[in-house]
Amino acid sequence: MTSMIGRVTSFVTYRDFRRLLKECSNYPPLAMFNDFLLLSVVFSFQGALLLTALILTLYITFSFFGDVRVSNLEKKAVFITGCDSGFGYELAKKLDAERLRVFAACLTSEGEAKLKTECSSELITLKLDVTKSRDIQCALQAVKSHLPSQGLWAIVNNAGIGYPGPIEWQPVEEMKKTLEVNLWGMVSITKVFLPFLKRTKGRIVNVASASGRLSSPFAAAYCISKFGVEAFSDALRNEMKHFGVTVHIIEPGTFKTGITDAEKNIQYLQRLWENLDGDTKECYGGEFYEQAKAKLRDIRHIFSPNIFKVVDAMDHAVTSMHPKLRYVLGLDHQLIWRTLSFLPSEIQDFFFGLVLPKPKGNPDHDN
């Protein structure tokens, strides 16, 4: 089809140019441009075909060689945060098996111990809370003293937390905590390792979320933090390109990991509910609370168990010769969240109105 359009277009262009050439020869001042025009004609006649062939070749080459990896992987080092569980845990194991030097930062000593039993002796674990500057300095020293000769190739900012609940129920301090980990932790880690990455013209892989594209009710703090991650990563990418450092965003939909664990999230919601004053409880109503808990329980069935899709994308971002700038992962994100994010707010609100429980509303007061 493309080549047919190309042929028709070039035929018309060719005929037009021939007519133009003839007319040009009748005007001496323009005749000298004939050679140049002739070249243009030849180019335009074959141009469409050439262009089509070029696009096809590029497409085939890119699909075929898209997965070619950077050289000397075994001499490259990568630093990953949040390796106790979920994506970080699986990525550390995968990159270790691919023989990269992995610095796996875990929040807990138990996380470190568990990872060590499953990985090679080359993997180095560190205890790191991304919100603590002292931990970050210790991690920096540990990386410095174990860096292979080729330096630090990549960092993966993966650590994250997320708890559900209406804005009115969630204490500001707890909302801030989510931002401290998901956003400011990422910013602090990135800034500390930037000089290393500039030396190797390395990579920064930031784990964002579908929640960084569309803000959903009952997840405000998490969404704010992930919108922040997107903003930070987009700005960083454009600042860093002048130094040869590239920035890649991982944008998963909803997958079954610790962060989406239904029981943990229900317990959190229960604590929020129990701490509410009587008036607020009255406004929302016990039915709303029960429906919210049931929703948390029900939606876990639609969470994807295929967390390897996210881990493979993170791996691709670290090791491929042609990493993408943004990886949109999970059917829910590809079909629903991303699509909704492009639609008008009225449609987004209508969608949430359909699927989420509604509070009882203000009680009638006799004034």
Ligand X SMILES: NC(=O)c1ccc[n+]([C@@H]2O[C@H](COP(=O)([O-])OP(=O)(O)OC[C@H]3O[C@@H](n4cnc5c(N)ncnc54)[C@H](OP(=O)(O)O)[C@@H]3O)[C@@H](O)[C@H]2O)c1
- Catalytic residue annotation: 222
Q: Is 228 in the site for ligand X (CB under 6 A)?
A: no
Q: How far is the CB of 169 from ligand X (least distance, A)?
A: 21
Return the residue matching tokens 């500057």: 133
Which residue in this structure is represented by tokens 């060719």? Answer: 14
Amino acid at 337: W
Residue 188 contacts ligand X per CB under 6 A: no
Site membership for ligand X, residue 240 (CB under 6 A): no
Whether residue 122 contacts residue 96, with contact meaning beta carbons closer than 8 Å, is answered with: yes
Hey, what amino acid is at 132? K
As measured in angstroms, the least distance from the Cβ of 102 to ligand X is 15
Q: How many other β-carbons are positioned within 10 Å of the β-carbon of residue 109? A: 11
Which CB sits closer to ligand X, 202 or 252? 252
Residues 136-175, one symbol each (x = binds ligand X by CB under 6 A, - = not), give: ----------------------xxxxx-------------
Which residues are CB-neighbours of 316 under 8 A, at least 6 positions away?
67, 323, 324, 327
Residue 131 as a binder of ligand X (CB under 6 A): the answer is yes
Site for ligand X in 111-130 (CB under 6 A): 111, 128-130
Question: 90, 92, 72: which is closest to 80 by C-alpha?
Answer: 92
From 4-12, 145-153, 254-262, 353-361, span contacting ligand X (CB under 6 A): 254-262
Which of residues 130 and 317 has its CB atom nearest to ligand X in the complex? 130
Under the binding rule (CB under 6 A), the answer on residue 81 touching ligand X is yes
Give the one residue of 2, 57, 108, 120 binding ligand X; rule: CB under 6 A: 108
What is the three-state SS of 72-115? CHHHCEEEECCCCCHHHHHHHHHHHHCCCEEEEEECCHHHHHHH
Please report, as residue ranges, which positions from 276 to 315 form the binding site for ligand X (by CB under 6 A): none
252 binds ligand X (CB under 6 A): yes
Q: Which residues contact 265 (CB under 8 A, 6 or more apart)?
A: 163, 164, 296
Question: Are 321 and 69 within 8 A, CB to CB?
Answer: yes
Rounded to the nearest angstrom, the gap between the alpha carbon of residue 265 and the centroid of all alpha carbons in its chain is 23
**Size of residue set near ligand X by CB under 6 A:** 30
Check residue 232 for interaction with ligand X (CB under 6 A).
no
178 binds ligand X (CB under 6 A): no
Q: Report how far residue 129's alpha carbon sits from residue 134's, in angstroms, rounded to the nearest whole number.
A: 9
86 touches ligand X (CB under 6 A): yes
254 near ligand X, judged by CB under 6 A: yes
- Name the one residue in this structure whose structure tokens are 């860093």: 240
Calpha distance 262→202 (Å, rounded): 37
- Residue 206 found at the interface with ligand X (CB under 6 A): no
Q: Are 119 and 102 in contact (CB under 8 A)?
A: yes
Q: Binding to ligand X by residue 84, rule CB under 6 A?
A: yes
Could you give the CA distance from residue 39 to residue 224 in angstroms, rounded to a whole number?
Answer: 57
- Asked if residue 230 binds ligand X (CB under 6 A), the reply is no
Query: Taking Cα atoms as reference points, which of 174, 160, 82 lies closest to residue 128?
Result: 82
C-alpha to C-alpha distance for 223 and 182, rounded to whole angstroms = 10
- With respect to ligand X, which residue has the nearer C-beta, 10 or 332? 332
Binding residues among 47-76 for ligand X as defined by CB under 6 A: none
Which residue has the CB atom at the shortest distance from ligand X? 86
Binding stretches for ligand X (CB under 6 A) = 81-82, 84-88, 107-108, 111, 128-131, 158-162, 181, 185, 207, 209, 252, 254-255, 257-260
